Amino acid sequence: MTTPDGDAVAPPQPDAVPAPATAPVRESEPFEPAGVAWTPVSPRLATARLVVGLIWLGVPLLGFALAAVLSPIVWFWIPAGVFALLALWTAWLVPRQVRALGYAERADDLLLRKGILFRSMVVVPYGRMQYVDVSAGPLARKLGIASVQLHTASPGTDASIDGLPTAEAARLRDQLASRGEARLAGL
Residue 67, Ramachandran bin (φ over 0: left; ψ between -120 and 50: alpha; else beta): alpha
pLDDT score recorded for residue 100:
94
Distance between CA atoms of 94 and 101, rounded to whole angstroms?
11
pLDDT score recorded for residue 149:
92
Q: What is the mean pLDDT of the chain?
A: 85
pLDDT score recorded for residue 95:
96
Three-state DSSP class for 26? coil
Predicted model pTM: 0.75
